Structures are given as C-alpha cells and as structure tokens.
Amino acid sequence: MTTRILLLSDTHLPTRAAALQEQVWGLVEDVDLVVHAGDWIEASLLDELERRAARLVGVAGNNDGEELWSRLGEVAHVEVEGVRIGVVHETGAATGRERRCDARFGPDSETPCDVLVFGHSHIPWDTTTPAGLRLLNPGSPTDRRRQPVGTVMTLVVHDGVVGDVTLVPTPR
C-alpha cells in the first residue's frame, strides 16, 4: 500500500496572501492525507481544506485564534500504515531541537512518533534525531521569509515505511 501526504504550515491566510496557490490546491486534491502544522489565521482555510482534502489532520499555531484552537488543539497524532506521525506548531529554537523533540515525541516518550511535522519558522527542515525521529518542517507556501520561494513538502509512506520526502517550491 502507498499513502501520499502533503505537509503544509504557516499559510497565514489572508494576512500573508489572499489565497493558496492553485498549485497547492492541486496537491491537496492529489494526495491521500493533508497535514497542516498551524498558523492558519482564519478558520475559512480549515473549512475549505476539510471540503477538498481526502483526509486532514492539523493543529493550531501561535497566530491562530480561539476558534482554531478549539477545533484543532496544540498536538495531533495520526497513524498511516503503522507509521506514527505527530504534528505540532512550535518546537523551539533550532539549537537543541533534536534533543527536545526526542524527549517529547521520541521512542521513549509518552506519545512516541516516527515522524514529527512542525512549523513556525517558515524555514524547511528535514533531519533525523539521534533516537530516529524524523523531523519535517514544510516551510510556508505563502510567506517565504528568508527563503527564495515558498514551499510545501510531500511525503510517501509505502508498506509502512517512510519513503520519499520532497520539498516542493510554491512560487506565486
């Protein structure tokens, strides 16, 4: 079995952009699962993703209001073909990130994950911690900050194994 996943974060709609790019909507409609790691800003994007995605998992971020927090919460977990995926908006500074994430989400934690999707920095990140936890930040499709273009990530899980992770540029 193969599961295709789109990773999004920090969409900041409508403050950083009026809408998601058609390219991103095409990816939403082409995958089996969409994961959003927070900073939606308005619930209208959550509503639209719920309508258009085959399946959606998301969390609220530091810029999200009460409605998004009540609907989503701080942390989400989903299992895909036996791969345990955690989602959170913030993981703190880059320095010490692997150690902190291993403590909170690693194999010896109360809620062990194989993959942790996070956001907040708008900067793509793909590393594996010493305990084997894969850390993925897709960046932001709409607010590139110090990056050349906006980005999202795609992830493939095949027969219970994390396969290709691809950083996808999302130019305006």
Average pLDDT, whole number, for the chain?
96
Q: Report the C-alpha dihedral over residues 75, 81, 83, 88, rounded to 10 degrees.
A: -20
Which whole-number Å values give the CA distances from 165 to 83, 123, 124, 168, 172, in the listed order? 14, 15, 12, 10, 22
Taken in order of first residue, the domains within the chain and their CATH numbers are 2-169 (3.60.21.10)
Q: How confident is the model at residue 16 (pLDDT cuts 50, 70, 90)?
A: confident
Contact 112, 84 (CB under 8 A): yes
Contact 14, 59 (CB under 8 A): no
Query: Which distant-in-sequence residues (6+ apart) come within 8 Å of 1 by Cβ?
Result: 81, 158, 159
Crossing angle of helices 22-30 and 43-52, rounded to 10°: 50
Q: Positive or negative, the Cα torsion across 164, 91, 23, 145?
A: negative
Q: How confident is the model at residue 171 (pLDDT cuts 50, 70, 90)?
A: confident
Structure confidence at residue 48 (pLDDT): 97
What CA–CA distance (Å, rounded) separates 129 from 120? Answer: 19
Question: 142-159 pLDDT, tens per residue?
Answer: 998 888 999 999 999 999
Question: 54-113 pLDDT, tens per residue?
Answer: 999 999 999 999 999 999 999 999 999 999 999 999 999 999 999 999 999 999 999 999
What CA–CA distance (Å, rounded) separates 23 from 45? Answer: 16
Q: Which helix (H) or strand (E) holds 24?
A: helix 22-30
First to last CA, the chain: 34
Burial label, 171 (beta-carbon count in 10 A; 0-12, 13-18, 19+): exposed
